A and B are shown apart, each in its own frame.
Chain A
Amino acid sequence: MKLAATAVAFAYSPEQEVLRSVSLLLGSGQVMFILGANGTGKTTLLECLSGLRAILRGSVMLDSVEIHQLSPPIRARHIGLVPQLHEPVFEFTVEQAVLMGRAPHLGLFGRPGPADFRVVGEAIESVGIAHLSTRPYTKISGGERQLALIARGLAQGARCLLMDEPVAHLDPHHQHEVLSIVRRLADQGFSFAITSHLPNHALLYADWAMFLIDGMSELQGPPATTITEESLRIAYQMDFEIVEGQSGTRAVLPRMLNR
């Protein structure tokens, strides 16, 4: 399964186009990182890719179907959206929260049955939080909640998950845990488009990196060739240096002038 955006443009108001022309291709088993400065429309792009917003120009195709021609439940069975973390209001258990992902498979008056519970159980298992099933979703850590949201996307049946800054607010250990699970799921054939402010994560976990600059998709390709001192300067308007660690991993550092 692949998700392809071609020259997508979007505007909240006619005067200002948030997205001017975004093209990307997300194949199965791929982890794509979408980088870009604050306010360049990364979240909006994810919402357009998941079919939640009517785009101005261009097209978003799921395999050979224009995504806006799919009904919302059908779309939800293919594409999942994992929003930025927020504090939930009610104390649903992890299992109840993940069960919500079954909605596109149930009729208007439907309630989850044994088969749905089984799917949810497997989803929770596959992100490694089975021990938290009955815990209140409000009382688990941010990283665990992020994993629960991934499980919810899997319970939807989505093969393609769009994640909005999944590791913001997480400590390095949990950042690694969440992204390792993302990586493992990708190896099983799931695809991920992830917005991030951390080029290092793109270098570590991604197959593909893309910069969103002024509403345009620019400079995309494999992270090793895309994330360069030059592209980073264009994206963030400051100087960086790229260093190489002993194990061969590369990392981005801001260039400090007065040292």
Chain B
Amino acid sequence: MNQSRRYVNWLLLFIPVATFLFALFLGRYGIRVFDTVRVLLGLDGPTDVFRALILRVRLPRVLAAACVGANLAVVGASFQGLFRNPLVDSRILGVSSGAAFGAALALLLTSQGMLIQASAFAFAMVAIGLVMLVGMRFGSSTLVLVIGGILVGALFNSLLGLIKYVADPLSTLPAITYWLLGSLNATQWSDLPPLLSITGLGLSFFMLLRWRLNLLTVSDTEAMAMGIRVRLLRTILVSVGTLMVAASVALAGTIGWIGLVVPHVARAWVGPDHGRLIPASAALGATTLILLDTVARTVLPSEIPLGVLTGLIGVPAFFLLFLRFLRARGEAR
């Protein structure tokens, strides 16, 4: 038991790291593994073009994919736990809808990447702020938060519809559509500091609190009777999780399913104990998105939108998991 546990832990570390390196040498321009390693180690040899390609183009993009994947999966896993609902993902609180509206609004007014990211982030915060206000007014039960999130999400979706309606159908509308489909195309180092810092802090926070997350999967009364300040803890976790989602979505667009499917796969692998589920989700989330993004940028001559890929792969994956779940309960053949 203990030995297989250690084995799984090493695997959880090895898989994302290996995928990360693998993704760096895969791309439209063939670079040999050997040269990739030499560039990463700072050794002489490969041409400057290769060096620039790996360090300035691929590295930031793969790093972004790893962060976004880990964030969405960890937040998805924790939200499923703290809303006691295995069908929840990071979009449940309307954050992604807020970010989508923010990005669309910025695209309508400007074409500066940084501003788009900032606006998406800001409106994600506005969305969660509204949900929290509703929560504080009506007692922060999970039901109130979820309904608040659905309403705020619906509100921002309508506003997004309005922006699409008034956007120039030849230039702005395609830009908005493309952003909404999600992509890590054109990710540069200058885009990364907010994402990297929030990911670092957020993941550390969830790692530190990961065992305590278990306590939020039981009823509020039970958790309170075990000495947990449930509402406070839930509010803090939701806030930090929201920051991570907002930073991810602001950079990569609204990428669905990762936050729903990856935690289920992780749970099937290491069990529901968040002590192990959180690291497993982070590792698998990072791996999944690095892989999907590598597919997105290499398989066809032009980029495949990441949101489309996660859907195309996520939907069947979820369907299979769901069937397995039902079978285990004897509710499907």
- Residues of A near any B CB (own CB < 8 A): 47, 50, 52, 71-77, 79-81, 83, 86, 88-93, 96, 99-101, 103-104, 106, 108-112, 152, 156
Please state if A72 and B222 are interface contacts (CB–CB under 8 Å): no
Set of chain B residues within 8 Å of A104, measured between Cβ atoms: 226-227
13 A-B pairs, CB-CB below 8 angstroms? A50-B225, A71-B227, A83-B222, A86-B219, A89-B84, A92-B271, A96-B272, A100-B218, A103-B212, A106-B211, A108-B212, A110-B212, A112-B211
Please state if B272 and A76 are interface contacts (CB–CB under 8 Å): no
Set of chain B residues within 8 Å of A112, measured between Cβ atoms: 211
Set of chain B residues within 8 Å of A92, measured between Cβ atoms: 214, 217, 271-273
Contact with A along B101-131 (1 / 0, CB 8 A): 0000000000000000000000000000000
Closest 3 CB pairs of A and B: A76-B227, A104-B227, A81-B225
Known: A76-B227, A88-B218. 15 other contacts (CB 8 A): A52-B224, A83-B221, A83-B222, A88-B217, A89-B85, A90-B267, A90-B272, A100-B214, A103-B226, A103-B228, A106-B211, A106-B212, A109-B208, A109-B209, A152-B226
**In the bound complex, CA of A152 to CA of B81 (Å):** 19
**In the bound complex, CA of A108 to CA of B267 (Å):** 23
* CB nearest to B84 among chain A residues: A89
Which residues 238-282 in B have Cβ within 8 Å of A in the complex? Answer: 267, 271-273, 275
Neighbour of A75 across the interface among B217, B219, B221, B227, CB < 8 A: B227
**In the bound complex, CA of A50 to CA of B222 (Å):** 11
* CB nearest to B221 among chain A residues: A83
Set of chain B residues within 8 Å of A100, measured between Cβ atoms: 214-215, 218, 226
Please state if A101 and B219 are interface contacts (CB–CB under 8 Å): no
Please state if A81 and B221 are interface contacts (CB–CB under 8 Å): yes
**In the bound complex, CA of A80 to CA of B221 (Å):** 11
Set of chain A residues within 8 Å of B215, measured between Cβ atoms: 100, 103
Q: Is the interface of A mostly helix, strand, loop or mixed?
A: mixed
Neighbour of B272 across the interface among A74, A91, A101, A106, CB < 8 A: A91
Set of chain B residues within 8 Å of A101, measured between Cβ atoms: 226
Set of chain A residues within 8 Å of B209, measured between Cβ atoms: 108-109
* CB nearest to B86 among chain A residues: A89
* Interchain nearest-CB distance for A104 vs B (Å): 4
Please state if B218 and A47 are interface contacts (CB–CB under 8 Å): no
- Residues of B near any A CB (own CB < 8 A): 81, 84-86, 208-212, 214-215, 217-219, 221-222, 224-229, 267, 271-273, 275
Neighbour of A93 across the interface among B86, B211, B226, B271, CB < 8 A: B271
Please state if B219 and A90 are interface contacts (CB–CB under 8 Å): no
**In the bound complex, CA of A79 to CA of B227 (Å):** 10
Interface centre among B85, B209, B211 (most CB of A within 10 A): B211
Given contacts A81-B221, A110-B211, A112-B211, are A103 and B227 in contact (CB under 8 A)?
yes
**In the bound complex, CA of A108 to CA of B212 (Å):** 7
Please state if B225 and A52 are interface contacts (CB–CB under 8 Å): yes
* Interchain nearest-CB distance for A202 vs B (Å): 24
* Interchain nearest-CB distance for B273 vs A (Å): 5
Interface centre among A74, A99, A103 (most CB of B within 10 A): A103
* CB nearest to B218 among chain A residues: A100
**In the bound complex, CA of A243 to CA of B271 (Å):** 52
* Interchain nearest-CB distance for A218 vs B (Å): 26
**In the bound complex, CA of A47 to CA of B222 (Å):** 10
Set of chain B residues within 8 Å of A73, measured between Cβ atoms: 227
* Interchain nearest-CB distance for A11 vs B (Å): 16
Set of chain B residues within 8 Å of A76, measured between Cβ atoms: 225-227
Set of chain B residues within 8 Å of A156, measured between Cβ atoms: 226-227
* CB nearest to A99 among chain B residues: B214
* CB nearest to B209 among chain A residues: A109
**In the bound complex, CA of A74 to CA of B212 (Å):** 17
Given contacts A52-B224, A103-B212, A111-B275, are A72 and B219 in contact (CB under 8 A)?
no
**In the bound complex, CA of A72 to CA of B215 (Å):** 14
Set of chain B residues within 8 Å of A111, measured between Cβ atoms: 210-211, 275
Please state if B217 and A90 are interface contacts (CB–CB under 8 Å): yes
Set of chain B residues within 8 Å of A93, measured between Cβ atoms: 271
Please state if B224 and A72 are interface contacts (CB–CB under 8 Å): yes
* Interchain nearest-CB distance for A109 vs B (Å): 4
Please state if B273 and A72 are interface contacts (CB–CB under 8 Å): no
**In the bound complex, CA of A96 to CA of B217 (Å):** 12
Set of chain A residues within 8 Å of B227, measured between Cβ atoms: 71-77, 103-104, 156
Please state if A72 and B228 are interface contacts (CB–CB under 8 Å): yes
